[in-house]
Amino acid sequence: MLRSYYREDMQEEAVFSLFFRHLPERRNFMLACGLEAVLRYLEELRFEPDDLAYLGTLGLFEADFLERLSRFVFTGDVYAVPEGTPVFPNEPLLEIVAPIPQAQLVESMVMNQIHLETVLASNAARVVAAARGRPVVDFALRRMHGADAALRGARAFYVAGVTATSNVLAGQRFGIPVAGTMAHSYIQAHDSERDAFRIFAELYPETTLLVDTYDTLRGVHEVIGLFHERPDVFRVAAIRLDSGDLGALAREARALLDRAGLPRVRIFASSDLDAERIEALLDSGAPIDAFGVGTRMGTSLDAPSLGLAYKLTEYAGRGRLKTSACKRLLPGRKQVFRTFRDNCATSDVIARACERRSGQPLLERVMEGGTRVGAGLEGLDAARTRAAEQIARLPAHVRALEPAIPAYPVRVSEALHEYAEAVRREVAG
Amino acid sequence: MLRSYYREDMQEEAVFSLFFRHLPERRNFMLACGLEAVLRYLEELRFEPDDLAYLGTLGLFEADFLERLSRFVFTGDVYAVPEGTPVFPNEPLLEIVAPIPQAQLVESMVMNQIHLETVLASNAARVVAAARGRPVVDFALRRMHGADAALRGARAFYVAGVTATSNVLAGQRFGIPVAGTMAHSYIQAHDSERDAFRIFAELYPETTLLVDTYDTLRGVHEVIGLFHERPDVFRVAAIRLDSGDLGALAREARALLDRAGLPRVRIFASSDLDAERIEALLDSGAPIDAFGVGTRMGTSLDAPSLGLAYKLTEYAGRGRLKTSACKRLLPGRKQVFRTFRDNCATSDVIARACERRSGQPLLERVMEGGTRVGAGLEGLDAARTRAAEQIARLPAHVRALEPAIPAYPVRVSEALHEYAEAVRREVAG
C-alpha cells in the first residue's frame, strides 16, 4: 500500500480512529492502556539496512521505493485517551493524524500494543476490585503469551492497581515493585521442609514460606515449629497456600497460627485465581490477606481478545466510512466528553473534535509532529493514579464484577450524527 | 533461591520435567513447539552490568552473589521432544538436567516460550486440518498478545502447516513466506473502489482484491469491470471476502466470476475464522479456496492457556516428588515410547529414561553441556515436515476436530510406576 501511495503521490493527511464496538461479556468497561508503548514505537520506527535488504529479496519493491523507506520517520499527531482511563464501546482510544502512508503503515503494531495492554489491564482491574484493598501480586510470567506480553502485562497490571510483580525484568524496566516467594522445587531439593524454611528465613527474615509442598497443614506446623526453635529471631511475614481448598485451608491455617501466638503472620493465597474466585473466597470469609494471580489474569482467560478496530475516518479533509455489513462507523476526528455529577460519571458523549461541549474531554494531544507532548510524556505512576481515581468515579454498578444493567450510557452528539449521515450519503452516491 | 543454593553450596544435578496434566477441552493432542526459542535463551542467558546494577538496588543481594551472577552461564543438558511432535498429558515435552541453581533460574522463561508456541501451534493444527489442504494465511498480528507472541506465533503456525504470514518481521527472521492484501482504508482513501483496484493491480498484477469495503457483490462487479477494461492484462488471482455471510457471498461471487469468464479467480475468505467455522463453511459446500485467519487462532481463543508445569523430579541422584493435592507426578528422568501399527500410532508408554523398550523414543538430547546437539540444531522446515508426518500418523479420531473418544492411550511403564511408589514412600516417610 505504501508503494502505491508513493507512486500516486497520495501524501495527504489521514485520520485513523482506534476503538472497539462491543465490550466482552464479563466487562463493564475497558481500561485504556498501552499508549506509552505505541508512542515509543512511533518515535523509534525506522527501516534499517537489514530490513531493506530483506524487503529487497521479496522481488516486489524497486530500489527507489526502498530508498524512500530508508528515510521513513513518523511525523504525525496522535490524540489519545491517557492510560488508566475507563473507556466504552465506539469511543476512540486513539486517533492518528498523519500523511496516509505513515498512518497506514503503523496499523498492526499500534493495534497489537494497545490491544495487549488494554485487554490485560481491564482484566487486572477486576482482580484488584475483587481483592478489596488486599495486595495482588502478578505471578503470570510463566504462562503468558511470550516475553513481550509478560513485560507489558506486568506494566498494565500495575496501572490497574496490582501491587507488585514476580517479573524482575519488568521491575528493572519500569520500576514496578518486585516480589516473589520460593518454589516447591526449592523445598523438595532440601532434606526436609523445616530445613528449607529455616535456611530461607535466615536469608530473608521477613519472607513468605510456601507450605503446600507435601501437606498444607503439616507445612503450617513446620512454620510454627520454626518459630518455636528461635522465637527471638522469627520474623516470617506470611505463609503461602498454593493448592487445595484455599478457603478451608486458610481458616485452618489461621486458627493454627493464632493459637501458636502468630496472629501477625499473614496468609497469602495463589492457585488458578481470578476475580470471581477471589470474590467468592472473600465472600465466604476466608482469612486471606494477599493474592498471587497468574495464568487467568495473564492471558485474560475469560476474554483474551477485544474487537479493536483501526479505521480510516478522514482523508484529505473529507470524512470516510466503510459501509459494508451494517457496522456503524463515526467519521472524522472526534472527542469524548464525560459528564460527572457529585464526582460520579453519569454519561459520555462522542462528538466531533471541533465541538465545544460541557463535560471532561477524554482525548488529549499526546504527540505533535512525531514528538511527544502533554500526557504523552507522563510516567507510569500518573497512569496508575488516574486508573484508581477514574475507576472510583464510575457508577458503583459499572465498577462491580457483575454485568452492569443498565450499561454505562454513551451517545453520539447530534453534530457527529449529522456529519456521519452526510458522509454516508456521499460514499453511497 | 539461587542465593540460597550458592550459600549452601547446593550445586548437584537436578532434573526438571516440563509437562501438562490435562488437554484443553477442544484438543485431542498438543503439538510440541517452542524448543528453538528455549535453546536460544539457554545459550544466550547472561547477567549484564545493567541487570546486576538493578538487582543491587533491591537491597537483597550482597556483592559476592552479584559477582557470581556476572559469571552465570547455562552448562546443562536438555532432552526434548522435537518441535512438531504430537504430545499427550503427563508426557515430558522437555527435561533439563543441570546444577540446581541453573535449572531453577530458567523455569519461567522456559515455560513461557514452550507454553506460547505449543498453545498456538496446537490451535493452528486444527485450523489447518479444517481447511482440508487449502492455504491458510496468518493474519493475527494486530490482536495477538504483544510483539513476541506475534513473531513466535507466526513461527508456530508455520510449524503446524499454515502457508504464509502477514507478519513481515517473521518472514525476515524465520524465512516464512509472507503474504498480504490491501486494507479497506486503502480503498476508502481512493476516489472510487474501481480506481483503487486498478492502481493496485497495476502494481501487483497477481494480487488479491478486497471486495467488501462498501458492498461485497458490488465489489465483485467492480473486479469484473476491471477485467472488461483490459482483459489482455487482467491477471488478478483472487478476491477477498471479509464480512457478512461468507458462505452465501462466496457462492454468489463464484457464480458472478464464472459467468464473467473468470473461473480462475480464486475466493479468499477472512473474518473471525477458526477451525470450527472453516469446517462449517466447507461442509456447507462454500466455494472458498483459501483462508486468512486472525484473532481466534492468534490468541488460541478457545484455549488460551495450557496447565504446563515444570517440576523437580530428581536432585543429587534421588527421585523427588511434590505430594500435596493428589497430583500424580513421575520422578526422575523419563522417556516416551510411541508404538505404531501399519504406520499409525497406537499408544504411548511413559517410562524411565534408562528403560529399553520397543516403540519410537520421543525425547532426544538436544543440548549437551550448554551446546546444541542433534535435533537441537534442526531448522524450521524439519519441524514443519515432522508435524505434517506425525499428525498424519495419529489415529483418524485423534486427528479429528471432534473430541477423541476414546482418548489416545498413554500409560506409565511398570518400572516407572514402581519407582514413583518408592519415591512417594521415601518422601512420605
**The three three-digit cell numbers of residue B181, written as one number:** 492484501
In 3D space, the residue among A281, A215, A277, A269 whose CA is nearest the CA of residue A239 turns out to be: A269
Q: Identify the pLDDT of residue B328.
A: 73
Flag whether residue B7 sits within 8 Å of chain A, measured between CB atoms.
Answer: yes
- Residue-wise pLDDT for B241-285, tens only, equals 999 999 999 999 999 999 999 999 999 999 999 999 999 999 999
**The three three-digit cell numbers of residue A183, written as one number:** 518454589
Residues 262-301 of B with CB under 8 A from A: 295-296, 298-301
CA distance B267 to B281: 13
Total number of residues shown for chain A: 429
Are B336 and B349 a contacting pair, CB within 8 Å?
yes
The DSSP letter of residue A350 is E
Cis preceding linkage at A406, omega within 30 = yes
In 3D space, the residue among A251, A241, A239 whose CA is nearest the CA of residue A286 turns out to be: A251
Amino acid at B156: A
Which residue in the set B143, B145, B185 is minimally distant from A144, CB to CB? Answer: B145
Helix axes A107-130, A380-392, angle to 10 degrees: 60
Does the interface ipTM go beyond 0.95? Answer: yes
Q: Identify the pLDDT of residue A320.
A: 84
- Residue-wise pLDDT for B13-65, tens only, equals 999 999 999 999 999 999 999 999 999 999 999 999 999 999 999 999 999 99
Cis preceding linkage at A304, omega within 30 = no
Mean pLDDT, chain B, whole residue set: 96
Q: Map out the domains of chain A with their CATH numbers.
A: 2-105+307-428 (3.20.140.10), 180-278 (3.20.20.70)
| Angle A358-A362-A363 from CA coordinates, rounded to 5° | 120
Q: Is the pLDDT of residue B429 over 90?
A: no
CA distance A190 to A36: 44
Q: What is the CA radius of gyration of chain B?
A: 26
Residues of B with Cβ-Cβ distance to A150 under 8 angstroms: 112
Flag whether residue A315 sits within 8 Å of chain B, measured between CB atoms.
Answer: yes
| Three-class SS state of A349 | strand
Amino acid at A69: L
- CA pseudo-torsion sign A288, A292, A296, A297: positive
- Residue-wise pLDDT for B307-336, tens only, equals 999 999 999 999 888 776 556 789 999 999
Q: What is the CA radius of gyration of chain A?
A: 26
Contact across the interface for B147 and A148, Cβ inside 8 Å: yes
| DSSP letter for each residue of B279-309 | HHHHHTT----EEEE-HHHHTTTT-----EE
| Three-class SS state of A93 | coil
pTM (predicted TM-score)? 0.97
Are B286 and B250 a contacting pair, CB within 8 Å?
yes
Contact across the interface for A147 and B113, Cβ inside 8 Å: yes
CA of B344, closest CA in chain A: separation in Å? 32
Residues in Cβ contact with B418 at an 8 Å cutoff, skipping those fewer than 6 apart: none
Residues of chain A with pLDDT under 70: 324-327, 429
Flag whether residue A1 sits within 8 Å of chain B, measured between CB atoms.
Answer: yes
- Residue-wise pLDDT for B328-367, tens only, equals 789 999 999 999 999 999 999 999 999 999 999 999 999 9
Q: Identify the pLDDT of residue B206.
A: 96
CA distance B170 to B174: 6
Q: What b/e readout covers A64-91, taking b as 16+ CB neighbours within 10 angstroms?
A: ebbebbeeeebebbbbbbbbbbbbbbbb
In 3D space, the residue among A157, A414, A395 whose CA is nearest the CA of residue A294 turns out to be: A157
Residues of A with Cβ-Cβ distance to B428 under 8 angstroms: 214
For residue B140, what are the CA distances in angstroms to A125, A361, B154, B384? Answer: 26, 33, 8, 19
- CA pseudo-torsion sign A211, A214, A215, A219: negative
Burial class (CB in 10 A: 0-12, 13-18, 19+), B51: middle
Flag whether residue A192 sits within 8 Å of chain B, measured between CB atoms.
Answer: no
Which residue in the set B119, B145, B324 is minimally distant from A243, CB to CB? Answer: B324
Contact across the interface for B324 and A172, Cβ inside 8 Å: no
Cα first-last separation, chain A = 25
- CA pseudo-torsion sign A223, A226, A230, A234: negative
Bridge pairing between strands B94-99 and B77-80: antiparallel
Q: Identify the pLDDT of residue A171.
A: 98
| Angle B37-A304-B167 from CA coordinates, rounded to 5° | 50
Contact across the interface for B188 and A321, Cβ inside 8 Å: yes
Flag whether residue B311 sits within 8 Å of chain A, measured between CB atoms.
Answer: yes
| DSSP letter for each residue of B245-264 | -HHHHHHHHHHHHHHTT-TT
Q: What are the E-state strand segments in A12-115?
A: 13-20, 30-31, 77-80, 86-87, 94-99
CA distance B53 to B55: 6
Bridge pairing between strands A77-80 and A94-99: antiparallel
The DSSP letter of residue A141 is G
Burial class (CB in 10 A: 0-12, 13-18, 19+), A184: buried
Contact across the interface for A1 and B182, Cβ inside 8 Å: yes
Q: Is the pLDDT of residue B153 over 80?
A: yes
Which residue in the set A200, A304, A321 is minimally distant from B299, CB to CB? Answer: A304
The DSSP letter of residue B42 is H
Find the DSSP H helices in A139-192.
Answer: 146-159, 168-174, 184-189
Contact across the interface for A305 and B299, Cβ inside 8 Å: yes
